[in-house]
Every structure is written in C-alpha cells, then in structure tokens.
Chains A and B, each alone.
Chain A
Amino acid sequence: MSDEVPAPSRTATWRAIALTAVLAVHCVAAAPLPQVVLPEELRTPVAREEVSRWAARLTSLGYAIDADTLGERVLTVSGAIGGAHRRVLAPFRPIFRSTGTGQGWALFANPNIWPFRLEVRVRGASGPWRLLYRRLDPEHPFEDPVIGYRRVRAVYDAHGTGKRPRGAYRRFVAWYAQRVMAEDPSVEQVQIRMVRTHTTIPPRPEDPREEPRFTLVERRP
C-alpha cells in the first residue's frame, strides 16, 4: 500500500488558478498604500497639525524637515503612488464598479480633533432663532433617528474642507429644511450649520471654543 496522496483533480487545479488570480487582484487593491492627498485636504487644521507633528518627530529622529516641505513631499509621493496604484488596477475597475466590490479599508486612519456638530435652528416670520436639533443633545432631539441614520449623516458630513460647503451638504440643507417647514407651518426660515469644536487630550484643559461653519438658511417659498 502506498502513502502517496493522490494529485489534485483537474477541476481543483483550475479552480485554484482562478481563485489565485482573483485573490492577487484583490491583494493589489487592498495594498495599504497612502491615499492621494489633495492640496485642500492638507490645508485643514487636522492635516496641518498632523504634518507638523510628523515633521517634529522626523526631525527628532535625525531627519531634519519642516512642516511645509513635508507637506509638499506628501502631495508628491502620495500622488505618484496613488497614480501608479490606479493604473495597475485600471483593467479591473469596470468589474469593481459594476459589482460595487473592492478593497480599501482606511478606517479612522486619522482621528479628527476638530469634529463638527450639526445644529438646526428655526424661526417664524419674526423673532429670534430657536434651536430645534443639536447632535447628541438630549434636550434638542428633534427627529434624531432620521438625522442620525448613517446614510443621512454621511450626506451632511460630506460638507468638505474648504470655506464653502460641498454639493452634498447643500442638497441635505435644502431637503431637510423642506421637511421641517412641511412639519411645522409656523416655521418660515430654517438655518442649518456645523459647529466645529476642539477635542483636547488630557491633561491639557478642555477647549470650550465653538465655531459655526457652513451656515445656510432656507426660506419658505
């Protein structure tokens, strides 16, 4: 009696070839390469602080570099690597796109110490603004399940990094203001804004500053 294990079948071999090819493409797609960083992204306070701290760390390790130079290198290197990654995957992009599949898991890569808090204010024909909703404020929970639903939150979170909000945020404001005015006929104006706060790390004291950004007002037609 022989101890030899029989050779894999032809079906098993072809299946292994096909699976290996698919896994290879997905491994390339999943490669943890730096994402392409855009100049406007580098101008955000979070990114500026991050680059400054990395520059200080690299300098302390003997590689002297200032924050501006490091920022320029990040743009150049991430652009080159990201471009090459895109070109390698270009033949497979139609498959990824049509099936909605892919790899890319930069989850919480850089936690945000300047987070935004959504606020919705309303007022009638006259009078002061009244706070209707504030994220994670138990005293102003108006429609929290709707505003907090992950896909809705993702739309207003896509407000962008510049001074003017992106289209997704504008679409959210128009949609939500209509919804509020339809619910309450006394409301004539709806103001939606993102209030930027600052998270400090203990033992640094708390920073109470609040900076309203992306303030948009919708009026009843």
Chain B
Amino acid sequence: MAHLTAAANEKVFRELFATIRDNFSLDKSDSGTFGPFTAAYHVKLHLEGGSVDLRGDNTIKVDELDIKWDVLDLTLGFDIPEICVGGFCIIPTPFGCALEFPEWCVFDDNPDISVTLPLGGITSELTVVASLLTKYFVHPERTPAMDAWDAQDTLASADAQTPFIKSVANRWQVFLDPQTLDLDPIDIADTVGDLLENLVGAAIDNLLWFLPGFVKDLIKDILGSVIDLVRAILDIPDDIQEWISDLLNVSFGLLDFIATVIADYFAAKFPILEIEDPYPMLGKAPNPNAPAPELVPVKIPIVDLKVFNNDVEMIIEGSVG
C-alpha cells in the first residue's frame, strides 16, 4: 500500500497543462532542392487553447489544441528560362524549316529569382490522447559530494533548470505521454496563387529594373503570363494551394516533424509536474535554541512513484523508501 497519495482535480490539471502548453514554442528552418527549383521554409509556432478531458480509461484527451503559425515563410528559388530572340524560320518548307535564323540570348546566364511567401497567421488543430508517465531525473550538475540538502540549496545553471525546481536536486517527473496525435494538414490560404503571381512579377521587375522599358516589355512578352511561367517552371498542377500544402506537408515532412517535436516535448522535455526527491516535508526553520544554527529541512525519500488518472482527477502514489 502506498505511503503517500496526492490528487489534482481536472481544474488543477488544466492549469498544469496550460503551463506546459504555454511554454512550447518552435523555431525551425530547412531547405531542399526539388528538381528545377529550391525551396526553404522558416516556421515559428506556439500552442494555444485545447480542451482537456480526464477519461476513465486512464488516458487524457486534449482536443482542439491550436498550433498558431506565427511565422510560416516559404521561399521558392528558380531560374527563369533562357530569354532569346531570333530562332525564327527564314525559309519554311512543307517538310520543315530549310533555313533558321540564329538565336541571341538576352542574358549570359539564366537569371535566378527567389520569392518568399509569407503564409503565417494560420492555425492548425491538434488532438492528443495521452497517458501519464513518471520518470526519475538525476540532475547532471549534482556532484557526488553533494548530499540532498546541498543539492536543494544549489541553483542549477540557467540551461539546466527544469520547469518547477530550479536547484540541482534529483526529482520525480510526471509527463504526458502521447498515445495518438492527430495534426490537421497545414491549411494554406486560397489566395496563395495570387500572392505567388504578384511576388514573382515583382521579382522579375526587380531583376530587370536597370533595363530600358522596351526591353522589359519584350522580356515579359516572351515570358508570357507570370503565373503560366511559374506553373511551367515549378511543374505546378492546377491547384497551387494544394501544391504548396503538399510541398510543406509531404516533401518537407513538416507536419510529421512538428508532430514528433510536440510528442517529444510532452513525453520527455517538459513535465507536467515535478516532485523533489527526497521530498522536503518541512522546510528550513529557526532554531528554538537560538542562536544555534537554523533547522535544516526534513526530507523523505520517495520510491515507486506511480501516476494515473480517472475521469475526475490525477492521482499520484508513492512510498517512503
């Protein structure tokens, strides 16, 4: 039978969950080459909302947890095709061209352009079903010479501080261990096609800024409509919105990456609760025999800490070791 039992009702549990949710943030960049173009993304996101439900089967469901994409910049880089004049047929015949005029190309190299689509400001929904998990954490900055009282009094370095206990004391940690995690695909705004067209148009203008007007006109006339050009270069099907979603979700695997990071964060990075071990049952106290030194905390070691939940509360049980 457990020597110690503690419980947190659903309201308290929600507050504990809110702490780990609000401490989550992600800043990630990556790039890749996809045949005729390169792409890179930069994302910054945080979590908001979510309804927490303690369930009778010893699981916790977090519904409608919002992933807020504060930054979702997608950069596409590609060469615009050779722009050449000439190449026409001087003497056409029924069997083909008998004599062809040479081509002169406007640029010595294929100019490359790069556009960044600011796709941030969107929200994706996440649903997590998790169970509770305990782990024992031995603080790496605690030296063998330290006893439990020294460890309690020694502040860990800023990088090595855990969320609830700032000292180098060992502790039990309770994590949310996701069993299933469903993340909606990144839902790109349907205006992205117009955005891409405008940005590429502006990039071409920027590329050609130093040219006389009639040369710009000629190049644009040869290139045709910007959106047709982009579709041809990037091999985009009809639905640009879907193409960009696939690029992020599938080609970059951004969706899986974020799901993994969030699962890892809940399960191993940020505990929902920490209990110092040995646990300080009584804190420091003045010595009644003053001026003798103050009384040290009374600490009891905890073993076999278990955590579980039912549909109304989270329960922690442990034994004094």
Are A and B subunits of one complex?
no
Binding site for A on B (CB under 8 A): none
Binding site for B on A (CB under 8 A): none
